[in-house]
Amino acid sequence: MKKIDKQKLKENSKLTLKNIILNHNYLFSLILLLIVGSIASPNFLSPANLIQLLRASTIIGIIALGMSLVIISGNIDLSVGSILGLTAAISVLVYNATGSIFLTLLFTLAFGLVLGLFNGFFVGKTHIAGFIVTLATLAAFRSLTVQLGQGGPLLINNDFYYEGLRKIGYGTFLSIPYIVWIFIFATVIVWMVMTKTKFGRYVYAIGSNEKAAKLSGIKVDLMKVLIYGFAGLLTGLAAFLYISRFGSVDTATAGRSFELDAIAAVAIGGASMAGGKGFIQGSFFGAIILYSINAILNAFGVPAFITDLIKGILILGAVLIQKSLNRNKEN
C-alpha cells in the first residue's frame, strides 16, 4: 500500500509540475528574459529600470486585459488602438474645458465603453465576424481622430496638466508609479470577474463551444456585446493614463499598432487564439514580457524598425507553442 501511495504521489507531483509548465509558461519566459536582459545590460535588473519597464507596459497591459476577454471568447478586436486614440483625443478637449480629473476619467471610461458596445452590437446582434467589424471601426475611428485634430497634436492646457493630471502619470506611492498600481488593481478586478463570476464562466464557455453555450441557456449574442463593451471600458482607462503620461495626443499616430501589441501580450501570456483558454495574469505578464523584449533589443542595439517584425514572429511563435502544449496535454 505504501509503495502504491508513493507511486501515486510521484505521478501527481509530475502532473502538477507539467500543468504548471503548460499553463504558466509565461513565467518561465519572463525569468529567461530577465536573465538575458541582465547579460545585455548590467543595469537591466536595477529597481529604477524595472519600475520604468512596468510603467512602459501599463497602457498596453490594460488594453491587453480587455483583449483577453475578447480572445478567450473566440473573437478578436483590431480597433483598440483606434479606440484609444479617439478617446484620448476627445478627453484632452474635455479636460481643457473642465479642468476636472474626475470628469475626464468618467468620460474616458464611458466613451470607451460606448465604442466597445458599438463593436459588440455588430458582432453579437448582426453576427458579423469580429475581425471584419473591428477592421472597419479601426479605420473609421482613426479617421475621426485625425479629423478632430486636423492631423496634428491636441495639447492639454499646461496649467491644468501640471496641477493635477501629470501627478497621475508620474507620481509614485511606495516608490511605485500610480499608473502601475492602477494596472495591478485593474488586473485583480478583471481576474476576479473572470474566475469568480458567472460572466467569466460564460466567456470561457462561449470560447470553448459557442453552440453548446447557447444550448445551455447562455445569451451568447448579449454576452458578445458585453465582452466588447468591457474591452472598450478598459481601453478608455488606458486612454486616460495615456494623456496623464504624455499630456498631449498626436491624432495621426496615437494608439497606432497598439492592437498588435495587445494581441502579442495576450498570445505571449498563454491564451489560446482559438478561444476558451487563457489566464488574465498571463496577459499582465505578457505585456511586461513584450516590453522587456523591446528593452533587450534596444540594449543589443537592434534597429527600431525591426521591432514589429519581432512582434509578428512572437505572435506566431506563441500560437505554435500553445498548439504544441495543448497537443501534449491531450496526450
Report the b/e string of 291-304 with b at 16+ CB within 10 A.
Answer: bbbbbbbebeeeee
From 62, 68, 20, 23, select the one nearest 204 (Cα to Cα).
68
Question: What global pTM score does this model have?
Answer: 0.90
pLDDT at 151: 79
In three-state form (DSSP H/G/I as H, E/B as E, the rest C), the secondary structure along 206-260 is HHHCHHHHHHCCCCHHHHHHHHHHHHHHHHHHHHHHHHHHHCEEECCCCCCCHHH
Contacts of 19 (CB under 8 A, 6+ apart): none
21 domain-assigned: no
Residue 266: give the domain boundaries. Answer: 61-330
Q: Exposure of 150 by Cβ count < 10 A (0-12 exposed, 13-18 middle, 19+ buried)?
A: exposed
> β-pairing, 248-250 with 176-177?
unpaired
| Listed residue (284, 270, 260) closest to 188, CA to CA | 284
Q: How far is CA 1 from CA 9, 10, 11, 12, in A?
A: 12, 14, 15, 16
Residue 36 lies in a domain: no
Phi, psi (degrees; rounded to nearest 5) at 44: -60, -40
pLDDT at 296: 81
Stretch (H or E) spanning 24 = none
| pLDDT value of residue 7 | 55
- What lies within 8 Å, CB to CB, of 44 at 6+ separation is 34, 37, 38, 295, 296, 299
Sign of CA dihedral 275, 280, 285, 291: positive
Please report whether residue 1 resides in a domain: no
Tell me the residue type at 310. Answer: I
Residue 7 lies in a domain: no
C-alpha neighbours within 13 Å on the C-beta side of residue 226: 13
- Give the Cα separation of 16 and 164 in Å (integer): 49
CA 19 → CA 24, 165, 286, 318, 329, distances in Å?
8, 44, 19, 17, 8
Q: What is the total count of domains within the chain? A: 1
Per-residue pLDDT 10s for the chain (331 aa) are: 444 455 544 444 444 555 555 566 777 778 888 888 888 778 888 888 889 889 999 999 999 999 999 999 999 999 999 999 999 999 999 999 998 999 999 999 999 999 999 999 999 999 999 999 999 999 999 999 999 988 789 999 887 777 788 889 899 999 899 999 999 999 999 999 999 999 999 999 999 999 999 999 999 999 999 999 999 999 999 999 999 999 899 998 999 889 989 998 998 888 888 888 888 999 999 999 888 888 887 777 777 777 778 777 777 776 776 666 566 555 5
Distance in angstroms (rounded) separating the CA atoms of residues 187 and 268: 16
From CA 75, how far away is CA 83, in angstroms rounded?
A: 17
The CA distance from 287 to 69, in Å, is 15
Q: How far apart are CA 241 and CA 248, in angstroms?
A: 11
In a domain, 35, yes or no: no
Q: Per the domain annotation, does 177 fall within a domain?
A: yes
**pLDDT value for 273:** 85
Question: Is 14 inside any structural domain?
Answer: no
What CATH number does the domain containing 275 carry?
Answer: 1.10.3470
Q: What nine digits make up the cell of 281?
A: 495574469
Query: What per-residue confidence (pLDDT) applies to 67?
Result: 97
Q: What is the pLDDT of residue 272?
A: 85
The answer to whether residue 220 is domain-embedded is: yes
Residue type, 49: N
